[in-house]
Amino acid sequence: MQELPKRSDLPVEQTWDLTPLYKTGAAWEKDFKKLRALVRDFNQYKGKLSDPQMLYEAFRASDKLSLAVEKLYTFAHLRSDEDTGNSENRARVDRISALSSEIGGETAWFEPELSALPEEQFKALLKAPVLKFYRRTLKEIGRDRKHTLSEAEERVLELSGDAFQTPEKTFSALNDADLVFPMIKDEKGKDIRLSHGNYIKMLESENRTVRHDAFKGIYSVYSMFKNTFASLMDAEVRNHVVDAKMRHYKSALCSSLSEDNIPESVYRSLISAVHENLEPLYEYFAFRAEKLGLKKLDMYDIHCPLVPNAARNVPWDEAVSMVKNALAPLGEEYVSVLDKAFRERWMDIPECKGKRSGAYSGGCYGKPPYLLLNHSGNLDSVFTLAHELGHSLHSYFSDRSNDYHYAGYKIFVAEVASTTNEILLQHYLLSKAETQAEKAYLVNYLIDTFRGTLYRQTMFAEFELMMHEHSAEGIPLTAEHLSNEYYKLNALYHGDAVEPDQDIRYEWARIPHFHYDFYVYKYATGISAAAALAQKILAGDTDGYFRFLKAGDSKDVIDIMKDAGVDFTTPEPINQALKLFADQVKQLKKLM
């Protein structure tokens, strides 16, 4: 194996330029020292928020403080990710993280103070001309006010807040630290200890014995601790249910969705639209079984490659031109920002010793939206480039079109631009592909993405909803109950071509997202929005898409998507995405 280059040996044009953030470590130190004064500036408004002018100034001071923290943090973590072994860089991250959580505590009075204002005073603030710009934020706080309890009740909840965290904390201590998985043999007969990190890789093995042993190995451990995991899950879900009840929400689901002002029907119609479109997924599994030469698939036959990786090496320059051509349908404005991204060194491209693995997009308001890559030169890494550029350009347009206060977009829309870019890239590469094998690889790429993101996450969303509804009805979430329900759902989402191993019933125990309170459905709606938008873009209509890119957090997410032409109050976007999946399955069958 070739040794990775040292950071200092990388050509400078392949690395990111962080000087727009800070030219030197000393400049960072200088800003770091100023943070305390910014906290004092903000805290002088404590107790004065009923005065519109004071509240206005408090908002300004709060934004100024959080932007300063964000900038310090961004520089610290980007620099540290370049070389995770560098202790000076690591220390900077630790210092800003510690200080910022301290600041969080010292400034936490703001929303509770607003929430505690008498109704007439709060209404007066909503009408105050000086606060016009902040009206959207005030309305959001106003929505919460209806669910704010008396001061004494809130005090009790605050004091017991830590205890409510116990199920998730214990889950992660057990899952990440205490569990020990068995040894299995890999393809070469070498002994390997199973871990969270290598499990999926093992499931992707072309050797069925390796896949089988990995699957059985992992779940032998989860089944051993199933009662502990179930008790934690039961407590977690009960926390959500009780909190929603105390705060007078109709249900835990409504409580969670109210954060982004999303109607309950969006969640439910996602599930019913997917139910009505399971046929193409069954068809895909049947085809997969046939291609793998199996009578029936088992749960460990779903991740191994159906189409060998188009073993094509894509040098960086070619990757750049592929992505630029693929995104050209977005128009000149978009492409000119892409050029800027490459020219002004927004990205850190090659792998090197000590660099953080994977890829991400990250930055702070008004500065370049940086990309960390580990470009390995296969086709997957071209998709990664397109994906991360989607995030970065979304941030770029949102930042430039909004004041800092409303620039940061919500999680609900966070994966839309990145997935849109992937779909556009797949479309472009497919039109240029010369061999059947390459075409099959590309079609399969999109199928896998949609299967994992749209179908699988909706199955998770359905399981999550079931847990909360059952818990609200007083049904205890025992290991047996959870496992039986989970197994039933798996059977539904896999069809006749799959005969699931009984051990899949314990998968719920392995998924951290089930502790996140109605989070996963956003993956499914995100990819559906992307599918709908990509189709509009390819048909020559980019106006709606730009409205979306520039919206930031200026409106509720459902309205932002509506403005872009994607209406989640109807099942239309989900149906469109499912149709795209069905078309790809048909194509794959033809190609192979």
| 395 binding Zn ion? (CB under 5 A) | no
Close Cβ partners of 267 (under 8 Å, ≥ 6 residues apart): 253, 257, 461, 465, 518, 521
Q: Which is nearer to Zn ion, 205 or 418 (CB)?
A: 418
| 392 binding Zn ion? (CB under 5 A) | no
Q: Which is nearer to Zn ion, 49 or 330 (CB)?
A: 330
- Among the candidate windows 125-133, 152-160, 343-351, 410-418, which touches Zn ion by CB under 5 A? 410-418
Give the nearest distance from C-beta 548 to Zn ion in angstroms: 16
Give the nearest distance from C-beta 414 to Zn ion in angstroms: 7
Binding mask 111-130 for Zn ion (x = CB under 5 A): --------------------
Instruction: Find, among 15, 247, 266, 25, the residue nearest to 145 by Cα.
Output: 247
Q: Which is nearer to Zn ion, 500 or 526 (CB)?
A: 526
CA atoms within 13 A on the CB side of 23: 1
Give the nearest distance from C-beta 358 to Zn ion in angstroms: 11
Tokens for 207?
């050797």
| 419 binding Zn ion? (CB under 5 A) | no
Tokens for 133?
């710009």
Which residue in the block uniquely carries the two structure tokens 């469109």?
A: 576
- Among the candidate windows 50-58, 222-230, 316-324, 414-422, which touches Zn ion by CB under 5 A? 414-422
Residues in the chain: 592
Q: Which is nearer to Zn ion, 384 or 587 (CB)?
A: 384
Distances (CA, A) of 540 to 87, 137, 499: 50, 35, 44
Count, residues near Zn ion per rule CB under 5 A: 1
Q: Which is nearer to Zn ion, 422 or 462 (CB)?
A: 422
- Among the candidate windows 22-30, 260-268, 417-425, 466-474, which touches Zn ion by CB under 5 A? 417-425
| 89 binding Zn ion? (CB under 5 A) | no
User: Is 388 annotated as catalytic?
Assistant: yes
| 418 binding Zn ion? (CB under 5 A) | yes
HEC sequence for 360-406: EEECCCCCCCEEECCCCCCHHHHHHHHHHHHHHHHHHHHHHHCCHHH
Amino acid identity of residue 84, one-letter, is T
Give the nearest distance from C-beta 40 to Zn ion in angstroms: 37
Q: What angle do CA 250, 252, 255 make, to 5 degrees?
A: 75
Q: Is 453 exposed, middle or buried (0-12, 13-18, 19+ CB in 10 A)?
A: buried
- Among the candidate windows 281-289, 411-419, 494-502, 575-583, which touches Zn ion by CB under 5 A? 411-419
Are the C-beta atoms of 402 and 396 separated by less than 8 Å?
no
Q: What is the Cα–Cα distance from 243 to 248, expressed in whole angstroms?
A: 9
- Among the candidate windows 2-10, 93-101, 418-426, 487-495, which touches Zn ion by CB under 5 A? 418-426
Give the nearest distance from C-beta 449 to Zn ion in angstroms: 12
Query: Which residue in the list 236, 388, 415, 438 is annotated as catalytic?
Result: 388
Give the interface with Zn ion as residue ranges (CB under 5 A). Answer: 418
Catalytic residues: 388
